[in-house]
Structure 1
Amino acid sequence: MRILLVLAHPLRDSFAASVAAEAQATLATDGHTVDLLDLYEEDFDPRLSRSERGGYFDDPYDTSAVAGLVERLKAADGLILVFPQWWFNFPAVLKGFFDRVFVPGVAFTHDPAGGRIVPQLTNIKLLWALTTTGSPWWLVHFYMGNPVRRLLKRGIANFCSKRLDFRMLSLHDMDRATDERRRAHLERVRKALSEI
């Protein structure tokens, strides 16, 4: 399987970077092809430009500003996202990746009758999120309703592809996580990915 592994964290020595490295090594060992897209290292600009937004309903939509990323997404069989949750949401750089790359003609098409969108990422059979939160599990799930999971599964995954394998592995209470808990989470990631 060809996996687009997207890392969204500004620090090279972050725990997210460690998770991405573990994911890349595990997938490669198991014979998968891994395309690592480090949004910060590649200096991705998350801002949707005026022309991009102005042409959102053009047919065809102009993807020339992000053509290389569109090609990488279309070449993938699976998408694995590695990121921290900040303020119960995606880092801005990852949100911008969705805004600028998951666009009409790539991730979906507009239904001519209006209202609905038609999924177009039929090549993507797997969408996993490997993430951390600074908040404890109960706060994310019970108080906030796990918004990142909802957005990824009900929004992006269901609106852009059909019948894909969705999974989210999170390390909660990251700011107080011991080295032992972090190592255990990396092992959990390794074991889960080895089943792909």
Structure 2
Amino acid sequence: MRVLIVLAHPLAGSFAAAVAATLEEGLVASGHAVDRLDLYAEDFDPRLTSAERAGYFDTPYDHSGVEAMVARLRAADALFLVFPQWWFNLPAILKGYVDRVFVPGVAFDHDTAGGRIVPRLSNIRHLWVFTTTGSPWWVVHLYMGNPVRRLLKRGIGAFCAPKLDFRMLTLHDMDRADAARRAAHLEKVRKAAARL
């Protein structure tokens, strides 16, 4: 299986980077092919251009500005997102990746009758999310309603590839996690990679 790992963290030595490296090691050890996309290291521009927005309903939609990113997404069987949750949301660079790459003709088609969008990401069979939060579990789930999970599973996943296997593994209260707790979480990540 070919797995696209998308990492969204500005620091090369971050815990998110350690999670991405652990995933890659585990997947390769299990015989999977891995394409690791570090959005910051590759200097991805998350800003939707005026031309991209103005042409959003053009057929075909012009995604030439992100053609290489689109090709990597189309080549994948699984998409693993690795990022910290900031203010109960995706980092801006990852949101921009979704805005610019999950576009008409790639992730979905517009329904010509004006109904729901038509999914196109049938190649993506697994969408797994590996993330951290600075908040405790109860704040994310009970107070905020786990907005990132809802966005990725019910929004992007359901609308672009409705039959995919969605999973999410989160280390909560990251700012107070000691070395032992972080190591234990990386072991969970390693085991998850081995189960794909």
Q: TM-score, normalised by structure 2?
A: 0.99
Q: Could you tell me how far apart the structure 2 residues matched to 1:4 and 1:156 are?
A: 16
Partner of 1:40: 40
Partner of 1:8: 8
Using the TM superposition, give the Cα deviation of residue 94 of structure 1 relative to its aligned residue in structure 2, in angstroms: 0.2
Partner of 1:28: 28
Q: Could you tell me how far apart the structure 1 residues matched to 2:169 and 2:18 are?
A: 14
| Residues matched between the structures, number | 196
Q: Match for 1:162: what amino acid? A: P
> Which whole-Å deviations, capped at 9, do the CAs of 1:40-92 have from their partners, x for residues lacking one?
00000000000000000000000100000000000000000000000000000
Q: Could you tell me how far apart the structure 2 residues matched to 1:74 and 1:91 are?
A: 23
Q: Could you tell me how far apart the structure 1 residues matched to 2:108 and 2:128 are?
A: 19
> Which whole-Å deviations, capped at 9, do the CAs of 1:71-127 have from their partners, x for residues lacking one?
000000000000000000000000000000000000000001103100000000000
Q: Could you tell me how far apart the structure 2 residues matched to 1:135 and 1:18 are?
A: 20
1:101 paired to 2:97: no
SS in 2 for 1:151: helix
Q: TM-score, normalised by structure 1?
A: 0.99
- What does 1:33-72 align with in structure 2 at a 5 Å threshold? 33-72=33-72
> Which whole-Å deviations, capped at 9, do the CAs of 1:115-163 have from their partners, x for residues lacking one?
3100000000000000000000000000000000000000000000021
CA RMSD, aligned part only?
0.4
Q: Could you tell me how far apart the structure 1 residues matched to 2:52 and 2:3 are?
A: 27
Q: Structure 2: where are the runs of 5+ without partners?
A: none
Partner of 2:178: 178
- What does 1:68-83 align with in structure 2 at a 5 Å threshold? 68-83=68-83
Partner of 1:130: 130
Q: Match for 1:140: what amino acid? A: V
Q: Structure 1: where are the runs of 5+ without partners?
A: none
Partner of 2:164: 164
Q: Could you tell me how far apart the structure 2 residues matched to 1:165 and 1:193 are?
A: 14
Runs of 4+ in 1 over 2 A off after TM superposition: none
